[in-house]
Structure 1
């Protein structure tokens, strides 16, 4: 099959994988605060690690892993590699208010100079930079 074949095109992002330092704290954050649906939760005894599969309403997924002794993120957020994970949302203001009410620090809402869309940043329990980005 050639690379130009219509059957060999990227169709979207299936999942993002996140490694956390405290599994129960991060599980609560992603399921209760962000409201993601649990698809599957597995404990892998050989690795002494959990893998939690979470689903967003559009079918995209997040895999939440717990590994012992993993290094911290080197800087915020300009470390080489994945800069942040952005969630599309209808109302940045409403969800930001929900996050604040849940005890999550949220940066002031900004407007993207190129698209005119509202966005803001917040962090998960391990300091992973997350973004809310306006859909409409």
Structure 2
């Protein structure tokens, strides 16, 4: 997978969240005059990129309960408890830690500024590089 694209209802708020809170880094940022839209390219540790867009008047997308389409974005962390403490100190509300009955992975959910479901996952055995700093 190369990238995931998101449309934010409040571009500056989401930009702050993904950079300051989740620790993604800016690759490029462009104002697209013809669309009255920002496009921000972000990257994490594992090489996966996130494209953040702004579009005036974009309609909301249902995400719960279990709407069809994208279910959530998962970010691998090395230490789930430490990352939870870091995010909670920044005001992020997280659901309780769960255990995947098949893989043994520990995980929890939280939301981005638009309510998009996000997941932190601590793998029971290493399978891929981390996307956010741990």
Task: Determine if the TM-score, normalized by the shorter chain, exceeds 0.5.
Answer: yes
Q: What's the TM-score, normalizing by structure 2?
A: 0.89
Larger Rg: 1
Instruction: Establish whether residue 112 from structure 1 lines up as the match of residue 95 from structure 2.
Output: no
RMSD: 1.0
Give runs of ≥4 in structure 1 deviating > 4 Å: none
Count residues in correspondence.
Answer: 124
For 2:69 and 2:63, the matched residues in 1 are separated by 11
Higher relative contact order (CA 8 A, sep 6+): 2
Gaps of 5+ in 2: 126-134
* 1:51 equivalent among 31, 35, 39: 39
Instruction: Establish whether residue 60 from structure 1 lines up as the match of residue 48 from structure 2.
Output: yes
* 1:122 equivalent among 95, 110, 114: 110
For 1:17 and 1:72, the matched residues in 2 are separated by 15
* 1:102 equivalent among 76, 90, 93: 90
